[in-house]
Amino acid sequence: MGRVLCEREKYLAKEISRQVGEHYLYNLNYPTRNLLDKAKKYIHAKSERIMFVKGMLSLLEEPKPKQIANF
C-alpha cells in the first residue's frame, strides 16, 4: 500500500511524509488503506448531508412567479 500510495496519490504521500514521517507509508500498509477508506466515507456522508439540507431549504423558499417571455 505504501508504494501504491506513493505512485498514485503523490500529493497525499508527500503530505503524510511531511506531517508524520515517511516510514508510515511503508510500515502501515493495511491501516493506511483503512484510514483512506474511512476518510472517503466521511467525505461522502458529509456531502450527502449538505445536499439534503440544501434541498430542504429550497423547499422552504417562496416560489417565484413564472415570467412569460413576450416575443
- Structure confidence at residue 24 (pLDDT): 60
Average confidence (pLDDT) over 47-51: 87
Per residue in 6-38, pLDDT (tens digit) is 666 666 667 766 766 655 655 655 566 777 788
Q: Is the pLDDT confidence value at 43 over 80? A: yes
Answer whether 25's CB lies under 8 Å from 13's CB: yes
**Do the domain assignments include residue 40?**
yes
Q: Is residue 64 part of a domain?
A: no
Q: How many domains does the chain have?
A: 1
* Domain assignment of residue 11, given as a range: 2-59
Q: Provide the CB-side half-sphere exposure for 32 (13 A, CA).
A: 21
**Cell for 6?**
506513493
State residue 7's pLDDT score: 66
- Going 52 to 54 to 59 to 60, the CA torsion angle's sign is positive
Q: Is residue 70 part of a domain?
A: no
